[in-house]
Each structure stands twice: as structure tokens, then as C-alpha cells.
Amino acid sequence: MSECKRWSDDPMEQLIWVHERQSGLRAIIAVHHTGRGPALGGCRVHTYGSDAEAWKDAIRLASSMTWKCALAGLPYGGGKAVILAPPQLAGDARAAAFRALGRQIERMQGEYITGLDLGSLPTDMDAIRQETAYVTDTTGSLGATDDLTADMTAYGVYLSMRRAARRLGSDDLTGRTVAVQGLGKVGSFLCGYLAQAGARIVVADLDAGRVTRMRQLWGAAAAPVEQIHRTACDIFAPCAIGGILSERSVPELRCRIVAGAANNQLASADQAEQLHARGILYAPDYAINSGGIIVTAAELAGESAAHARRQTEAVPD
């Protein structure tokens, strides 16, 4: 854990290591900033290569949540929970681990509010809710918010693509080629918006079934996962894992704009300079993928889905 000494210099308000023997829970809660309000950010479940890798991911994700909430004008700061998932995290053991996380969140007395994120499920949030009220409701005033969160994230990214495309001369995406990396819920919704706008879509995903579905629904072309970032296109849309824009991959890009939904797309700050030097316009992920957190904030405030959509329409600004 010596790597963590360097990360202690990061401006985190709190970094909490959670290890409960009974449930087997091993998790990290990172609270970056609460100056605007409670730290808001989902709970990620992932199998990390090391504890150090998990700490680094929690810190970066929490930081980006602060910028995301601030730019979206939301009364929240940034936080993140990361569960280091062992292979046996399933069934009763999974429920027990999430209840243990809920007990830790309750001890924080509202400084951090959690919710769904990559790898976590609505049933996991139900388990947390047995121990604390500081968790977003997936079946509240907006109904089942999982699809709405993904839809509004994609909608904000799509609108931001159009704004960025003005650099190409017009915000009309008709006939322009967009390469979408990752076809989870957000990537799939994004393909729908792009198809309706008349864009040509090239897609890639580790799940062949998702690729087939986009080809059938929207006439998308397919590219190998390891080649999608090299596709000749107008816009490259990373919608899968973070760190895709690396020292190796940026020189291989064949696009004029990068605008996608994945969190923490830059492997390091150096890649921002690389993109700039190549004349590639980068729409920062935390600026354009805030539709999901806008939905969460609307849910917490008791607002409607229509209100969340109106707020998402302001994302390109």
C-alpha cells in the first residue's frame, strides 16, 4: 500500500477503507468535496488487480463527480464507493456485503450519498437501504430510474456532440461517422439518438449480442474492440471503461472530435495535451456525461423526469 502515500496528497476530504470480516466486504469510500452539499456518487463493483489500483480509481471517480456536479449546477459534491469484488460476491454473501457498506455510509451521517454505478444492481441498493437512507431510490418519484439515468446520460452526450460538431462547420450529424466504443445501456441509447439524427454508426463491444442488436436496430457497422479507436470517423465516442485515451492510443485516433460517456477517459493529464497538439477537440467526460447525475439529483429533490430532461438539455452549455 506504499502507493497510497502519494495519493494522500490528493485533495480528498475523506478516504475510508472498509473491511468487515463477517461479510467479507472490502471497499473504499472516497469523499472529494462537500462544499456545495453532500458528496454524491455511485457504488462501483469491480475486480481490481491490486488494492492500489482500487484506491486510485476511487479517487479519480470521486474527483470527477465534483466537477460534474459543479458544471451541472447541482447542490452536491463528489464522492464514490468502490467494492473490490471477489469471485464469490453473489447471493446472500453479496447482500451481506452491501448491508455492511450501508452501515458504514450511515456512520458518515449524510456526508456521502450512494447509488447505482458500474457493476452494482438495484437489489444491491435495496440491501444498502436496509441500513441507511443515504442511497438514491431506484423506484421513487421518477419510477425505475436505471433506464432513465442511462437515457439522459446518452442524451446529454448526443447534444454535446452536436455542439462540438459546429467546429466541423455544422451541428447537423447527417452523414457524419461516429464510432461508439461500448454498448451498455448508455452506449445503446446513444446509438439510437445518433441513428435518428442520420449519423453513420460504427460500434464495438465485447458482447457480440449487443453488436448484433445495434446492427439490426440502426444499421450500424461493426469493428473489432481493439480497432474501434482507430476507425476513420468524425467523432469517437468512448462509452466503456476509463483510461482509453492513453499515450499509445491517442496517436492512433483517426477522428476530429472525442465525445463519449465513459468516466475518466484520459489515462493522464498528458493525453489532454496530446489531443490538443493533434487538433482533436476533446469534450471532457465530466462536462458532457452529467445527464445521469442530473436524474439522480431530480429524484432526490422530488422533481419530474421532464424536469431532468430540461436540465440535461443545458449540458452542452
Contact 237, 181 (CB under 8 A): yes
What CA–CA distance (Å, rounded) separates 78 from 30?
8
Task: For residue 245, give the DSSP letter.
Answer: B
To the nearest 10°, report the CA torsion of 43, 300, 125, 24.
50
Asked if residue 311 lies in contact with residue 292, where contact means CB atoms within 8 angstroms, the answer is no
CB-based contacts of 46, cutoff 8 Å, min separation 6: 54, 57, 82, 83, 84, 85, 118, 119
Give CA–CA dist 167/20, Å, rounded.
52
Alpha carbons 200 and 183: distance in angstroms, whole number: 16
Q: For residue 211, what are the CA distances in angstroms to 1, 144, 193, 309?
A: 40, 25, 16, 27
Instruction: Give ∠ CA 58-60-65 in degrees, rounded to 5.
Output: 95
Q: φ and ψ at 250, to 5 degrees?
A: -60, -45
Question: How far apart (Å, rounded) are the C-alpha atoms in residues 299 and 281?
Answer: 33
By annotation, the residues acting in catalysis are 80
Strands 25-31 and 14-20: antiparallel
Grid coordinates of 55: 484506491
Answer yes or no: are the C-beta atoms of 78 and 67 closer than 8 Å. Answer: yes
